[in-house]
Chains A and B, each alone.
Chain A
Amino acid sequence: MTTIDRDTRIPDPIELDRAEEERLRAAAGLGPVRTERGEYAGFDQVGIPDRPPQTEREREVYSLDEGEMLVNMGPQHPSTHGVMRLVVKVRGEIIVDIDPVLGYLHRGIEKLCENATYTTVLTYVDPMDYLSTMHNEHAPAIAFEKLYGIEPPRRAEYIRALVVELNRIFSHGLMMGFLALDMGGLTPILYAFINRDEIVDMLSAISGQRMLFNFFRVGGVNFDTNDEFLSRLGTWRSRVMKNIEMNEHMITDNEIFRARTIGMGTLTGQEAISLGVTGPNLRASGVPFDVRRAHPYSIYRELEFDVITQESGDSYARYLQRIAEIKQSIHLIDQIIDRMPHGPVQAQVPGIIRPKPGRAYAAVESPRGLYSVYSISDGGPNPYRFRMRDPSFISLQAVPKVMPGKLVADTMAVMASFDPVMGGVDK
């Protein structure tokens, strides 16, 4: 044990880190990365990992040819949609390669869920993809109901479908705004937020919270509809088409917007399938796959809707796809309200659920694609294994695929057109 007297100099923790860093670098056979004064030695070294490349891909990205340089975008960058880091290899302004570096927002949600009881898991999944909270809760709710072997009441299913479609609308609306924002358009994002606020107020009236709704329960939903929710829904419904058209007028026919999105970031249907891209991004490439139609869950079997697709698979198609889906969701909401039955909204479920040992898989169509949950029960009160497939993680892989040869200016715009949410990517 060391004693500290008055004359002992307590080393600065930063200094300790530096010494450790130098030691590790020397062990790996690398030169010092810092100058004698303690600053990073070089412009061109920033962004390169302080270790030898571990995979072929890493070697490829981080070796520079003549005239190339690495530009580090993020994790602190005005438009990386959360804390994401892209290492972009450029030659002048032309992109040679992109390496997304993930994990800055990793919160270990899967592990947290494995340590929580089945009822409390639904609170942990909320902040994953924070723009589609309702969908995040929907998939585990279905999976746990399968595990436990109960069915939610009919009215609960209808309310679920209703809030989920409302969530889809504001999520898609925000995507339109962010896409414009990443191209320098200031206004559409604020219009999108006004639209979002109306929906979020409505959902907070029914669930009690504005962002992380925590509305779903195993075997039903938390609350029945109330007067405030219904009156807000009615007001919103009466003017939503006008609002969307207003936003559309600002973006859809704008020459500059079209010039920057048409033919940009084109993903063919085959590529999208082989990458595993789902949701609007896949449908924008012309593949008619929608979980609501392909593997119907909840009440989607009873509702009328078409699987909308676009042809070209570029940023503009992805944008148009979102608008079409907003309109489709409004159509679905009309049907749901029309047919909503009376009855209870919560099945009888014990406080601590202990399903029989087994496994269950449930997939829902989230605004970003196929969001699914795979849960294994060992008979205990918490899931033995809880795995989530987040669609933005998969769509993000398409960005390095479509970007080489394009300009730095389009990196963020194309990324925004895939609409990833970092909370979901990093879990």
Chain B
Amino acid sequence: MDWELLLGIGRFVLATTLLLLLTVPTAFVIIQMELKVIAGMNLRIGPNRIGPSGLFQSTIHGFKVLAKEDTVPDQADRSTFTLAPWMVYMAAAMSMLVMPFAPGAIAADFNIGIVYFFAVLGLSVVGLLVAGWASYNKYSLLGGLRSAAQMVSYEIPLTLSIVGAVVLAGTLSFSELIAWQREHGWLLIWQPIGLGIFYVASLAEINRTPFDMVEADSELVAGPFTEYSGMRFGFFFFAEYVALFIMSGILASLFFGGYLAPWPFPAQLDGFVGTLWGILWFFLKTYIFVFVAVWLRATLPRVRVDQLMGVAWKLLLPLALVNLFVTAIAVVAFDL
């Protein structure tokens, strides 16, 4: 028996289980944040009944969703209708596999982690489109089509904005990219334009305000989720917040040094302490970006669907290409 292989499988199973379990509290925390932070910005009090200062409001919401009746529209395509929330949720959860939480705390440290990440995250659009089609509802259909158009177009600038960083660091692995940042400084300094494009495109990719076209409540009721109820709706809801967490985490890892502390430390922390230290910084940075996204939601109105596409194709894509071109020339010219 190959013990190495067994150990590897065991480690993988443990890691994926932990990641799946992590999605639940993550969603709860971000929903709670959204409730409370937006309430503060709206000069409201926000939830304050369940738990100390309403701390368990989102948890209760989560369990409430479990207890709700799950209805399927009569004319809906039952099998795909059932499958769609699962697809969206799994796309979000699977992309967490390459998330670098800390040195040594990556579920699977592929050498093509970045490619894997964008490939898997893009799968969620299939789920949304399927949800929109299977619901047999016009709002859902329009929402599903919007999501397909939006996410497919924003995937291109999103991915291109990273290529500059990849060319600079010469690696597609998240841990090596972070190791490169330890030596050369955060990519924020090297790729400011890439960062800008990535941020805008990532908001669009995960359907956050101001690009929350997919579930524009004042136009399409709830987009592809209109007909969903109970835990199926809960899965969409969870997936959305998990995706926000993931995008913030990836943003922190790619441009803000990930689990690196913002200043160099005299002694290199190793082992378990180093992992904890890395996790601390990773979550701190990630939640800062989550907060910014929530803040944007409280502040900005939604852009219109055609304006959104205009931004992607006419502004972000050329900008990303120019950024890549300049970076490539610089790498060759200065032998970085």
Contact = CB atoms under 8 A, between A and B. Distances in A.
Greatest chain B CB density within 10 A among A184, A408, A412 is at A184
B138 A186 contact: no
Given A250-B299, A256-B302, A259-B307, A186 B74 contact: no
A39 B76 CA distance: 13
A257 B43 CA distance: 22
A93 B301 contact: no
A266 B31 CA distance: 39
Interface stretch (B103-111, B179-187, B211-219, B232-240): B211-219
A412 B218 contact: yes
Interface residues of A, number: 34
A69 B136 CA distance: 14
A187 interface: yes
B69 interface: no
B90 to A, nearest CB: 28
Interface in A234-262: 250, 254, 256-257, 259-260
Contact of B210 (A39, A184, A410): A184
Contact of A408 (B43, B142, B299, B307): B142
Interface in A375-421: 407-413
B75 to A, nearest CB: 7
Interface in B68-84: 74-75
Contacts, number: 87
A4 to B, nearest CB: 33
Contacts of B138: 43, 69, 71-72
Contacts of B298: 186-187
Contacts of B74: 37, 39
A182 B219 CA distance: 8
A185 B299 CA distance: 7
B335 interface: no
A260 B297 contact: no
A24 interface: no
A182 B304 contact: no
A259 B212 CA distance: 16
B218 A183 contact: yes
B139 interface: yes
A405 to B, nearest CB: 12
Given A39-B74, A407-B306, A182 B218 contact: yes
Contacts of A408: 142, 219-220
Given A39-B75, A259-B304, A411-B219, A184 B142 contact: no
Interface string B245-282: 00000000000000000000000000000000000000
A190 B42 contact: yes
A256 B142 contact: no
Contacts of B307: 259-260
Contact of B303 (A72, A78, A260): A260
B212 A43 contact: no
A162 to B, nearest CB: 27
Interface in B271-324: 297-307
Greatest chain B CB density within 10 A among A72, A180, A187, A191 is at A187
A194 B45 CA distance: 13
A47 B139 CA distance: 14
A39 B307 CA distance: 39
A79 B216 CA distance: 11
A205 interface: no
Number of contact residues on B: which range applies?
20 to 34
Contacts of A327: none
B138 to A, nearest CB: 5
B209 interface: yes
A181 interface: yes
B142 A43 contact: no
B184 to A, nearest CB: 35
A122 to B, nearest CB: 35
Nearest to B44: A190
Contacts of A185: 299-302
A191 B43 contact: yes
A183 B302 contact: yes
A331 interface: no
A180 B298 CA distance: 12
B124 to A, nearest CB: 21
B244 to A, nearest CB: 16
A402 to B, nearest CB: 16
A184 B218 contact: yes
A107 interface: no
A77 interface: yes
Contacts of A77: 221
B41 interface: yes
B284 to A, nearest CB: 26
Contacts of A409: 213, 216, 219, 304-305
Contacts of A187: 38, 41-42, 298-299
Nearest to A413: B218
Interface in A320-372: none
Nearest to A88: B138
A254 B301 contact: yes
B219 A260 contact: no
Interface string A184-206: 11110011001000000000000
Greatest chain A CB density within 10 A among B38, B142, B301 is at B301
Nearest to B307: A259
B210 A256 contact: yes
A181 to B, nearest CB: 7
Given A180-B301, A190-B44, A409-B304, A71 B139 contact: yes
Nearest to A94: B306
B305 A93 contact: yes
Nearest to B137: A43
Given A71-B139, A259-B304, A78 B299 contact: no
B299 A407 contact: no
A185 B212 CA distance: 11
In the A-B complex, the 10 residue pairs with the smallest Cβ-Cβ separation, listed nearest first, are: A184-B302, A185-B301, A183-B301, A79-B218, A190-B42, A182-B218, A184-B301, A71-B138, A409-B304, A412-B218
Interface of A: 37, 39, 43, 69, 71-72, 77-79, 93, 180-187, 190-191, 194, 250, 254, 256-257, 259-260, 407-413
Given A93-B142, A184-B218, A409-B216, 8 more contacts: A78-B221, A184-B300, A186-B42, A187-B299, A190-B42, A259-B303, A411-B219, A412-B219
24 contacts: A37-B74, A39-B75, A79-B218, A93-B142, A183-B301, A184-B209, A184-B212, A184-B302, A185-B302, A186-B298, A187-B41, A254-B300, A256-B302, A256-B303, A259-B303, A407-B305, A408-B142, A408-B220, A409-B216, A409-B219, A409-B304, A410-B304, A411-B219, A413-B218
